[in-house]
Amino acid sequence: MVSVNPISVKPWVFDMNSGELYEMLRKAQEPKGFFFNKNKDWVLAILQDLLINKERYGYMSCPCRLATGDREKDRDIFCPCVYRTDDVKEYGSCYCNLYVSAKWNDGEFEHQYVPERRPPEKAAF
């Protein structure tokens, strides 16, 4: 699996706003079969939270999970997280409903709760 690794992205990327991040990630992820949720307001809010986490922690951790602030401990939840592929394959959506399949967006995949795959021992609390 190849994904955008926040560590390898140029530092200027994080001077972006959520709309600019949207376009950058859309171009990188759609060819891989991962699409943004068609609810663009939701997507832009999640992307804004990713940018806040980048400022807070130095990396874009999933805003739908508690980050520890320790880069190594949180590596599995750098967005896109390591759980995304399996979540989208099984449920049509990632845990945050940020990345979805085309079928999910088209209503051909039941929209259901995506359970947490992250092991409890990795949680911040």
pLDDT higher than 80, residue 12: no
Residue range 48-86, pLDDT digits in tens: 999 999 999 999 999 999 999 999 999 999 999 999 999
Give the containing element (helix H, strand E) for 52.
helix 40-57
The three-state (H, E, C) secondary structure of 4-42, written as one string: CCCCCCCHHHHHCCHHHHHHHHHHHHHHHCCEECCCHHH
Mean pLDDT for 3-22 is 63
Q: Which residue has the higher pLDDT, 30 or 7?
A: 30
Ramachandran sector of residue 79 (left: φ over 0; alpha: ψ -120 to 50; beta: rest): beta
For the whole model, what pTM was predicted?
0.85
To the nearest whole percent, how much of the chain has pLDDT over 70? 87
Rounded to 5°, the CA angle 109-113-114 comes to 90
